Amino acid sequence: MHPITTSAMAEDLKKLGIDPLKPPPLNKLSPDTIRKLMPTFARSLGVKCAACHDTNDFKASTPKKKVAAKMWSEFVVGMQMDDGSPLYCDSCHGGKMEFLDSHDKKALSAAMDANYVKKLKRTDKKEHSCEQCHGDPFEPKFLEAWAKAK
Ligand code: HEC
Ligand code: HEC
Ligand code: HEC
């Protein structure tokens, strides 16, 4: 698992008028800003536009687009680094779309605790734990539901 880091993209976001410590919901951004934001998604994940989009119709819904939009609202907007520095897609992804090794569940759970629980806090200041992302009862593969949502 990629150890969580302060985002290296804070300046890119500021140039687009986005406060990296208080990013707005995606639907509050103008179409022009969304378009200029897209390369930060692609670079954070180390992918091309086609990883998420039907490039003949960028507006068309896809499972990856749904997950990306939820990652924005639940993680980038809903959480902050515990030390108050900016959290963004690159903080967790570090240039890879997929990076979890779920081979050893015990080691992964310990890494999740050290990175995603201890180094993050909730924007609404409520208590932060595994349940914040995995729900209660604990759902290990909750991204499957995100990919299908709506
Ligand atoms: C990680 C997934 C991901 C990648 C990679 C990505 N996009 Fe997007 N794209 C999205 C999401 C999510 C939205 C916003 C949908 C919404 O408004 O809720 C979006 C919106 C758009 C839109 C506006 C259409 C719409 O859906 O409202 C355009 C145009 C677009 N992207 C182009 C690009 C281009 C060009 C690239 C490559 C530089 C790219 N995207 C890379 C996920 C991605
Ligand atoms: C708090 C950490 C964190 C943040 C912040 C984060 N992600 Fe993720 N993301 C993950 C994890 C963990 C996975 C699962 C990766 C795996 O299965 O290897 C994931 C998976 C994804 C996937 C699905 C990959 C697949 O295999 O289907 C997409 C798309 C994605 N993230 C996009 C984004 C985008 C875009 C952003 C920024 C708006 C973002 N993520 C921010 C942790 C994060
Ligand atoms: C900031 C969000 C977040 C927090 C907090 C979090 N996780 Fe995760 N975790 C993820 C994401 C995203 C995935 C990928 C889920 C998927 O693939 O559907 C994941 C996957 C896992 C997996 C692998 C599931 C599988 O079978 O592939 C385990 C195990 C896990 N987490 C344990 C934990 C534990 C234990 C905690 C609390 C100590 C925790 N996580 C806290 C985001 C989080």
Structural domains present in the chain: 10-148 (1.10.468)
Work out the pLDDT band at 115, boundaries 50, 70, 90: very high
Residue pLDDT, tens place only, 59-77:
999 999 999 999 999 999 9
Question: Could you tell me the sign of the dihedral formed by the alpha carbons of 146, 113, 94, 9, in that order?
Answer: positive
Place of tokens 């050290």: 114
- Tell me the per-residue pLDDT of 34-68, one tens digit each, with 9 for 90 and over: 999 999 999 999 999 999 999 999 999 999 999 99
135 lines ligand 3 (CB under 6 A): no
Amino acid at 142: F
Report whether the peptide linkage leading into residue 63 is cis, meaning its omega lies within 30 degrees of zero. no
* C-alpha of residue 124 to centroid of ligand 1, in Å: 27
Per the CB < 8 A criterion, the answer to whether 10 and 20 are in contact is: yes
CA–centroid distance, 113 to ligand 3, in Å, is 9
